[in-house]
Amino acid sequence: MSHSVLFVCLGNICRSPLAEAAFRAAAERAGLDVHVESAGLGRWHLGYPPDARAQAVARRNGIEIGERRARLVTVEDFYRFDHVIGLDAENLSGLRRLAPADGRAEVSLLLDHVPGREGQSVTDPYYEDDSAFDDAWRDACEGADALVERLLAETAGK
């Protein structure tokens, strides 16, 4: 059974590429079959690679993300993916406005999957210093690990 997951932030150059990378790595470690992408709600950086600071924190953690390019989330994504996951509360609101009524994706907030962190946002690091990117990476990993746990449990229950 394969699971498809789309992570969404504002620019698709900082947080959602980190969540995509963290989730792909966590799923691979767990032997979980996934299709994962990321996208943004804003147009500023379409077609651009991830922010250099996001690439750097991923590289410090052994993952190269420089090849990916920012894209917008589309209405079709809500039919293509099992899960569409916002990185912060504003992203979640934007996704809920965009989601078609008959879309099949479950729309959620990343940290809703982490027991005790429900409702929390992954802070936008774009205007912050490098340590904010370390924080975003840590949150992305925590959310990714918790989501893998949930999907493993669902797979086992099927």
Q: Which residues bind ligand 4NP (CB under 6 A)?
A: 9-15, 44, 124, 126
Position with the least CB separation from ligand 4NP: 11
CA-closest candidate to residue 128, choices 69, 51, 21, 72: 51
Element (H, E) at 153: helix 130-157
Residue placing its CB nearer to ligand 4NP in the complex, 44 or 79: 44
Could you confirm whether 14 is annotated as catalytic?
no
Element (H, E) at 57: helix 52-60
Residue placing its CB nearer to ligand 4NP in the complex, 15 or 151: 15
d(CA 89, CA 32): 27
Residue placing its CB nearer to ligand 4NP in the complex, 10 or 151: 10
CB of 138 vs ligand 4NP, minimal distance in Å: 14
Catalytic residue among 124, 139, 141, 145: 124
Catalytic residue among 9, 68, 77, 145: 9
CA-closest candidate to residue 9, choices 42, 31, 34: 42
CA-closest candidate to residue 114, choices 19, 31, 43, 21: 19
Could you confirm whether 124 is annotated as catalytic?
yes
Catalytic residue among 15, 24, 53, 68: 15
CB of 6 vs ligand 4NP, minimal distance in Å: 14
As a whole number of Å, the CA-based R_g of the chain is 14
Active site residues: 9, 15, 124
